[in-house]
Amino acid sequence: MSDDDAPRFDFPGAFDLSGEVAVVTGGSRGIGRAIAHGLAAAGADVAPVSRTAADVERVAGELADYGVETCVTTADVADQADVTDCFETVAGELGQPSVVVNNAGINPEAALGTPDRVDATGFDQVNDVNLRGAYACAHAAAEHLETTGGSLVNVASVGGLVGLPRQHPYVASKHGLVGLTRSLALDWAPAVRANCLAPGYVATELTADLTGNEELAASIRDRTPLDRFAEPKEVAAPAVFLASSAASYLTGATIAVDGGWTAR
């Protein structure tokens, strides 16, 4: 191989997101907030979106420290009209979104238990946010992503790869999200890439009941080869990678970010 054929790697340029406009749902805390920080650190202008204006405003203030533009807008991802308005606001204030991270997700008490215990309301509540919410954002973002040649990242869960007891609504929503990712990848190729992350156990408000219960936390650590919960920013790094040109040949993929949990 001559020097001219050498696969010279542009580092950190391959991960540079300068000039990109990113929307992160559930960007106000936990994993989404860390992803918003990661994207801003890589140079993207970022709109962290959730239902709570004060939290969005606080995170937008944090992101401004990276010297990027931000935009304060809220949306309930379960409401298509709200989502469409939100994407129009971002497009108007920051420019057409080229990176969309569908991270908003819930797993409320009403959806925990065996099927005889969980009624349709609990099942719908989870799926309306975790799956239909991701669809709503993909729908609202489609034209923007096609114009910009962008990248969509869905945040599923190890519950999108394997079953988990007493969590069938959540598991169904996350398996659906993995499937949605694959279909979007086919429908949008080659212009737009769509990929998915499947985090294991991450220390956030969502898992406060687990991290706050030493017996449960220990059983999760025992089951996890890396022997600990993840920090939110350990999920943010692969999200930045998937959004960037460093992942230019990845589409339709789901990457487990689980400390080896699904390697067993």
Ligand X SMILES: NC(=O)c1ccc[n+]([C@@H]2O[C@H](COP(=O)([O-])OP(=O)(O)OC[C@H]3O[C@@H](n4cnc5c(N)ncnc54)[C@H](OP(=O)(O)O)[C@@H]3O)[C@@H](O)[C@H]2O)c1
By CB under 6 A, name the binding residues for ligand X: 25-26, 28-32, 50-52, 55, 75-78, 103-106, 129, 155, 157, 199, 201-202, 204-207
Comparing CB distances to ligand X, the nearer of 145 and 236 is 236
Comparing CB distances to ligand X, the nearer of 16 and 210 is 210
Least Cβ distance, residue 108 to ligand X (angstroms): 10
Which of 66, 135, 170, 201 is an active site residue? Answer: 170
Comparing CB distances to ligand X, the nearer of 14 and 226 is 226
Tell which residue, 38, 47, 43, has the closest CA to residue 17. 43
* Exposure of 258 in the CB half-sphere (CA atoms within 13 A): 23
Least Cβ distance, residue 155 to ligand X (angstroms): 5
Distance from first CA to last CA of the chain, Å, rounded? 40
Q: Is 135 a catalytic residue?
A: no
The order of strands in the sheet holding 151-155 is 45-49, 21-25, 99-102, 151-155, 193-199, 254-257
For the CA atoms of 75, 54, 46, 96, the dihedral, rounded to the nearest 10 degrees, stands at 40
Q: What is the DSSP letter of 263?
A: G
> Rounded to an integer, what distance in angstroms lies between the CA atom of residue 8 and that of residue 64?
33
Least Cβ distance, residue 195 to ligand X (angstroms): 15
Q: At what angle do helices 120-130 and 168-188 cross, to 10 degrees?
A: 30
* Exposure of 175 in the CB half-sphere (CA atoms within 13 A): 10
Least Cβ distance, residue 87 to ligand X (angstroms): 13
Comparing CB distances to ligand X, the nearer of 83 and 192 is 83
Least Cβ distance, residue 95 to ligand X (angstroms): 22
Vertex 209 angle, CA 117 and 195, to 5°: 85
Site of tokens 């609504």: 169
Comparing CB distances to ligand X, the nearer of 35 and 185 is 35
The catalytic residue positions are 170
